[in-house]
């Protein structure tokens, strides 16, 4: 159905729709006493179905690259490609508390639009927190330079490189799940930067990076080079999202850690591609 809805609004609507589905699925399965694996799988599947149906209805001409769908090579010759992660922070989504009630809010739905070489719109929904960020209207960012940098880091598998970076910077680590939650934690003033290395895919960072850029945050690879999307190989193993006031400091510290000759924690040429 053709509409006059902007791509940014559509991204937000799509992420919110998948978020509603995810909340309902999680509540139902947790009430039935199902385990983490079942909740993960049902979440991935139902959010993928919701996003695929939504995009097919509203933007039928566009290609889609999704974590949860087979990679269709048509995206490599398409002008417009939606890059989506139906459920980011799958582990946190599936965690149920001792009382049998799911409690974690650090998981997200990512919906980004790539057009002619650039990310042009996107949304990151945090359904359990009742918050959705989109590129338009752009979120506000906190301003000012902190004395002690707070680095958002994976709560389940913090990369050794980021632990070494925190020591180099004298930074505090703030653990949480989901790449989208970590990137937007800078907007919530819970962290000043999100640095990741060692493995990720385009869908993990496309929407978070689109939203972060719209808010005026620094975004790049760990070597400072630009993040490039819709490549034949969707591997995109590292990134930096940072308040502009700390970006130079963080990138300089990353370079020092990476330059340590015997440091096994530095991103290798492969992971820092």
Ligand X SMILES: Nc1ncnc2c1ncn2[C@@H]1O[C@H](COP(=O)(O)O)[C@@H](OP(=O)(O)O)[C@H]1O
Binding residues for Mg(2+): 67, 85, 87-88, 204
Nearer to ligand X, 46 or 178 (CB): 178
For β-strands 108-115 and 118-126, DSSP reports them as antiparallel
Binding to ligand X, residues 21-80 (CB under 6 A): 67
Question: How many Cβ atoms are within 10 Å of 255's Cβ, its own excluded?
Answer: 13
> Exposed (0-12), middle (13-18) or buried (19+): which is 9, by Cβ within 10 Å?
middle
DSSP-assigned letter for residue 118: E
Strands laid side by side in the 108-115 sheet: 63-66, 80-88, 108-115, 118-126, 131-134
DSSP-assigned letter for residue 267: P
Quick one: which segment of 55-63, 87-95, 155-163, 233-241 binds Mg ion (CB under 5 A)? Answer: 87-95
Q: Across the strands, what pairs with 122?
A: 112
Q: Is 94 in the site for ligand X (CB under 6 A)?
A: no
Closest by CA position to 154, among listed 199, 123, 111: 199
Do 213 and 168 contact (CB within 8 A), yes or no?
A: no
Binding to ligand X, residues 154-213 (CB under 6 A): 154, 156-157, 177-179, 198-200, 204
Q: Is 135 in the site for ligand X (CB under 6 A)?
A: no
Q: Is 216 in the site for ligand X (CB under 6 A)?
A: no
DSSP secondary structure string for all residues of 226-260: PP--S-SS-B---EEEE-HHHHHHHHHHHHHHHH-
- Partner that binds at residue 105, options Mg ion, ligand X, none, CB closer than 5 to 8 Å by kind: none
CB of 235 to Mg ion, least distance (A): 13
Nearer to ligand X, 104 or 213 (CB): 104
Q: Is 89 in the site for ligand X (CB under 6 A)?
A: yes
CB of 90 to ligand X, least distance (A): 4
Nearer to Mg ion, 7 or 204 (CB): 204
- Partner that binds at residue 43, options ligand X, Mg ion, none, CB closer than 5 to 8 Å by kind: none
Q: How many residues appear in the chain?
A: 273
Binding mask 189-218 for Mg ion (x = CB under 5 A): ---------------x--------------
Quick one: which segment of 85-93, 131-139, 220-228, 244-252 binds Mg ion (CB under 5 A)? Answer: 85-93
H or E element that contains 124: strand 118-126
Name the residues that contact Mg ion, by CB under 5 A. 85, 88, 204
């Amino acid at each position: 159905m053709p509409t006059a809805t902007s791509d940014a609004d559509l991204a937000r609507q799509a992420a919110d729709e998948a978020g509603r589905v995810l909340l309902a699925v999680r509540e139902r399965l947790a009430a039935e006493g199902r385990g983490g694996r079942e909740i993960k799988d049902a979440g991935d599947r139902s959010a993928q179905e919701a996003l695929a149906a939504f995009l097919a209805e509203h933007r039928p001409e566009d290609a889609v690259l999704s974590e949860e769908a087979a990679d269709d090579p048509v995206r490599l010759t398409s002008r417009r490609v939606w890059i989506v992660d139906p459920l980011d922070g799958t582990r946190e989504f599936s965690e149920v508390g001792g009382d049998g009630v799911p409690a974690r809010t650090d998981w997200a739905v990512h919906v980004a639009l790539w057009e002619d070489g650039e990310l042009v719109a996107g949304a990151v929904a945090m359904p359990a927190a009742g918050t959705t960020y989109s590129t338009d209207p752009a979120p506000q960012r906190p301003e000012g330079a902190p004395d002690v940098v707070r680095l958002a880091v994976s709560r389940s598998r913090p990369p050794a490189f980021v632990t070494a970076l925190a020591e180099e910077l004298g930074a505090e680590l703030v653990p949480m799940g989901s790449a989208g939650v970590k990137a937007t934690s800078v907007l919530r003033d819970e962290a000043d930067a999100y640095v990741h290395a060692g493995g990720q895919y385009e869908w993990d960072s496309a929407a978070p990076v689109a939203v972060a850029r719209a808010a005026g945050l620094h975004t790049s690879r760990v070597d400072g080079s630009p993040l490039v999307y819709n490549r034949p190989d969707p591997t995109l193993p590292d990134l930096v999202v940072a308040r502009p006031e700390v970006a130079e400091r963080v990138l300089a510290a990353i370079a020092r850690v990476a330059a340590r000759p015997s440091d096994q924690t530095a991103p290798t040429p492969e992971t820092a591609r």
